[in-house]
């Protein structure tokens, strides 16, 4: 690998042990993947925030690096933690967990990282431009940045993203390179996919088939996204963006998809004639019902409804508020979102409407990485295929998956209505 004089000096320790360690991680990864050089990153998004996953060993690793002098060189935001930092008591989590969770976030803040605690950084200021190099680690955010915006990020692990933030660089391999962004599969969709949860089911189905491949979808009816090389994308928060959030998150969770193209819709598919080479494997889709059925366990009683995986936009919060206005919810309803979006919802009275019905709008957190074993919930309903596929293995919850309306109806009645699993 060719390293610049500056990079060689960092490796020699001239900018301190913390940056030396960071660059060593980035260079080692680059050598493993055959990179020829490093490239500067415009922003970083770091996962690995929940104390439930990190434990004391992970917390000490972060504190040590911070004490060694690690400071980020580029704008860096954080993935969700295991709780709402202001409402963890309402969620029912223990003081012990909350205290440890705060220590994790403090360690990241000591390195200069913004405690955004969201998986939708592109909705709260960390909004990349087409073609920019990034080092992001939340899989749903990576697939969004690559596919919906046309920026470039590999699926970084938490430590490798943090290392990239500290040295301001990543190795140029994989999706950082144009030649590795071509489709590996052509997916021809012959059924009408209308609702967001149907997109999620399609993503869940195709992710399982293509693994870490790059699917190129044909036959999806979505408005074209801007192929904008100069200005930050203005797509975030729109209906198409919200649908693609659910879609990409599902692709990235049942498989390891980090980039997809949609013919005539996503930016690279619109401006790049080679996005889908001829003779790639073809997958034909005639229905997503089987995928929807696979995501549904045979339960009726719903203890908890979770919307906002990935984190809900203001438009989604507004839609939820409209649906539950004046209602009295029988199940718990948690809507997870970014704190900045929660504030906007509060300013518009949207938050108050959801809370008057009995729902909770949770910032900073994610159910999948929360200490759900501390609570009494046993069943969950969601419109997110990612949440549906992770809820049992990672949070111990049986699941119903369906449309937003089906989930909110379940929150209102306390049960999953028969015949609405689709
Ligand atoms: Fe976000 Fe957690 Fe879902 S990180 S994408 S809310 S599993």
Q: What is the DSSP letter of 365?
A: B
pTM of the predicted model, to two decimals?
A: 0.96
The response to whether residue 235 sits with its C-beta less than 6 Å from ligand 1 reads no
Question: What was the pLDDT predicted at 30?
Answer: 98
Residue nearest ligand 1's atom 4 by CA: 119
Q: Would you call 417 helix, strand, or coil by DSSP?
A: coil
For 251-283, the three-class secondary structure string (H helix, E strand, C coil) is: HHHHCCCCCCEECCCCHHHHHCCCCCCCCCEEE
φ, ψ of residue 304 to 5 degrees: the values are -145, 135
- CA-to-CA distance for 362 and 343, rounded, in angstroms? 11
The partner residues of 78 in beta bridges, in order of sequence, read: 46
Does residue 140 register a pLDDT over 50? yes
Q: Are strands 38-40 and 169-171 parallel, antiparallel or unpaired?
A: antiparallel
Locate all alpha helices (DSSP H) within 145-211, ordered by sequence. Answer: 158-167, 196-210
- Cβ-in-10-Å burial (0-12, 13-18, 19+) of 350 comes to buried
pLDDT-based confidence at residue 229 (cuts at 50, 70, 90): very low
Say if CB 94 and CB 132 are below 8 A apart.
no
Predicted confidence (pLDDT) at residue 231 exceeds the cutoff of 60: no
Q: Is the CB of 336 under 6 A from ligand 1?
A: yes
Report how far ligand 1's centroid is from the alpha carbon of 310 (Å).
5
Is residue 212 scored above 50 in pLDDT?
A: yes
For ligand 1, whether the C-beta of 81 sits within 6 Å is no
Instruction: Please answer whether residues 305 and 276 qualify as being in contact, where contact means their C-beta atoms are separated by less than 8 angstroms.
Output: no
Cα 346 to ligand 1 centre (Å): 22
Angle 44-49-55 from CA coordinates, rounded to 5°: 140
Residue in 45, 46, 52, 80 to alter for ligand 1 test, most ligand atoms within 8 A of Cβ: 80
Residue nearest to ligand 1 atom 1, measured at CA: 310
Ligand 1 geometric centre to CA of 106 (Å):
21
pLDDT at 422: 46
How far apart are the two ends of the chain, measured CA to CA in Å? 51
% of the chain exceeding 70 in pLDDT:
96
The first and second tokens of residue 61, run together, are 């690793």
Q: What confidence score (pLDDT) does residue 237 get?
A: 66
246 CA to centre of ligand 1 in angstroms:
10
CA distances from 160 to 51, 230, 264, 289, 341 (A): 18, 28, 34, 38, 28
Banded pLDDT at 239 (limits 50, 70, 90): confident
Q: Rounded to the nearest whole angstrom, what is the distance from the C-alpha of residue 385 to the centroid of ligand 1?
A: 11
| pLDDT at residue 102, rounded to an integer | 98
Q: Is ligand 1 within 6 A of the CB of residue 80?
A: yes
Residue in 407, 398, 400 with CA at minimum distance from that of residue 312: 407
* pLDDT tens-place string over residues 276-313: 999 999 999 999 999 999 999 999 999 999 999 999 99
- 102-139 pLDDT, tens digit each: 999 999 999 999 999 999 999 998 889 999 999 999 99
| 3-state SS class at 250 | helix
Q: What is the pLDDT of residue 225?
A: 75
Q: How is residue 254 written in tokens? A: 């049942």
Ligand 1 centroid to residue 204 C-alpha, Å:
15
pLDDT of residue 22: 98
The tens digit of pLDDT for each residue in 7-21 reads 999 999 999 999 999
- Write the pLDDT tens digit of every residue in 145-167: 999 999 999 999 999 999 999 99
d(CA 318, CA 237) in angstroms, rounded, equals 11
Q: How many CB atoms lie within 10 A of CB 271?
A: 13
Task: Evaluate whether 422 touches 402 at the Cβ level (below 8 Å).
Answer: yes
Atom number in ligand 1 closest to CA 80? 4
pLDDT at 235: 67
In this predicted structure, the answer to whether residue 234 has a pLDDT above a threshold of 70 is no
Nearest CA to ligand 1 atom 2: 366
Task: Please state the atom number of ligand 1 nearest to the C-alpha of residue 336.
Answer: 6
pLDDT digits (tens, 9 = 90+) for 326-363: 999 999 999 999 999 999 999 999 999 999 999 999 99
pLDDT at 48 over 90: yes
* 46-57 b/e (C-beta count within 10 Å ≥ 16 → b): bbbbbbbebeee
Residue range 171-196, pLDDT digits in tens: 999 999 999 999 999 999 999 999 99
Task: List the 185-189 sheet strands across, edge first.
Answer: 261-262, 215-218, 185-189, 281-285
Task: Judge if the beta carbon of residue 249 lies within 6 A of ligand 1.
Answer: yes
* Residue to mutate, 246, 334, 387, 401, ligand 1, most ligand atoms under 8 Å from C-beta: 387
* Those residues with Cβ within 8 angstroms of residue 303's Cβ, 6 or more apart along the chain or in another chain: 331, 332, 376, 377, 378, 379, 380, 397
- Cα–Cα distance measured from residue 319 to residue 94, given in angstroms and rounded to the nearest whole number: 32
Rounded distance between C-alpha atoms, residue 179 and residue 116, angstroms: 33
φ/ψ region of 75 (left if φ > 0, alpha if ψ in -120 to 50, else beta) reads beta
Number of Cβ within 10 Å of residue 305's Cβ equals: 29
Counting from 1 in the atom list of ligand 1, the atom nearest the Cα of 369 is 2
Residue 15 CA to ligand 1 centre (angstroms): 36
* Residue nearest ligand 1's atom 5 by CA: 310
């Amino acid at each position: 690998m060719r390293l610049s004089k500056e990079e060689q000096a960092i490796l020699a320790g001239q900018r301190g042990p913390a940056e030396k360690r960071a660059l060593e991680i980035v260079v080692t990864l680059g050598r493993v993947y055959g990179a020829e050089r490093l490239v500067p990153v415009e922003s970083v998004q770091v996962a690995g925030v929940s104390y439930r996953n990190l434990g004391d060993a992970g917390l000490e690793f972060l504190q040590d690096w911070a004490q060694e002098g690690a400071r980020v060189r580029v704008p860096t935001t954080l993935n969700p933690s295991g709780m709402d930092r202001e409402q963890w008591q309402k969620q029912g989590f223990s003081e012990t967990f909350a205290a440890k969770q705060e220590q994790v976030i403090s360690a990241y803040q000591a390195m200069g990282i913004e405690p955004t605690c969201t998986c939708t950084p592109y909705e709260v200021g960390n909004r990349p431009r087409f073609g920019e190099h990034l080092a992001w680690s939340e899989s749903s955010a990576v697939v969004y940045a690559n596919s919906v915006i046309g920026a470039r990020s590999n699926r970084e692990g938490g430590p490798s993203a943090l290392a990239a933030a500290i040295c301001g660089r990543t190795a140029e391999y994989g999706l950082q390179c144009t030649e590795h962004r071509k489709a590996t599969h052509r997916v021809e969709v012959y059924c009408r996919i209308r609702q967001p949860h149907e997109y999620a089911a399609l993503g869940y189905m195709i992710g399982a088939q293509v693994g870490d491949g790059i699917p190129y979808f044909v036959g999806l009816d979505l408005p074209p996204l801007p192929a904008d090389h100069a200005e930050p994308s203005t797509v975030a928060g729109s209906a198409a963006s919200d649908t693609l959030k659910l879609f990409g998150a599902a692709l990235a969770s049942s498989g390891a998809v980090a980039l997809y193209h949609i013919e005539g819709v996503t930016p690279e598919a619109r401006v790049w004639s080679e996005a889908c080479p001829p003779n790639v494997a073809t997958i034909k889709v005639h229905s997503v019902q089987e995928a929807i059925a696979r995501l549904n366990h045979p339960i009726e009683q719903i203890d908890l409804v979770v919307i906002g995986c990935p984190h809900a936009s203001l438009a989604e919060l507004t839609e939820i508020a409209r649906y539950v206005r004046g209602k009295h919810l029988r199940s718990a309803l948690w809507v997870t979102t970014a704190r900045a979006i929660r504030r906007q919802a509060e300013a518009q009275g949207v938050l108050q409407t959801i809370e008057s019905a009995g729902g909770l709008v949770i910032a900073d957190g994610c159910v999948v990485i929360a200490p759900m074993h501390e609570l009494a919930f046993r069943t969950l309903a969601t419109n997110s295929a990612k949440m549906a596929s992770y809820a049992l293995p990672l949070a111990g919850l049986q699941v119903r998956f369906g449309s937003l309306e089906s989930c909110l109806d379940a929150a209102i009645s306390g049960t999953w209505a028969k015949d609405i699993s689709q």
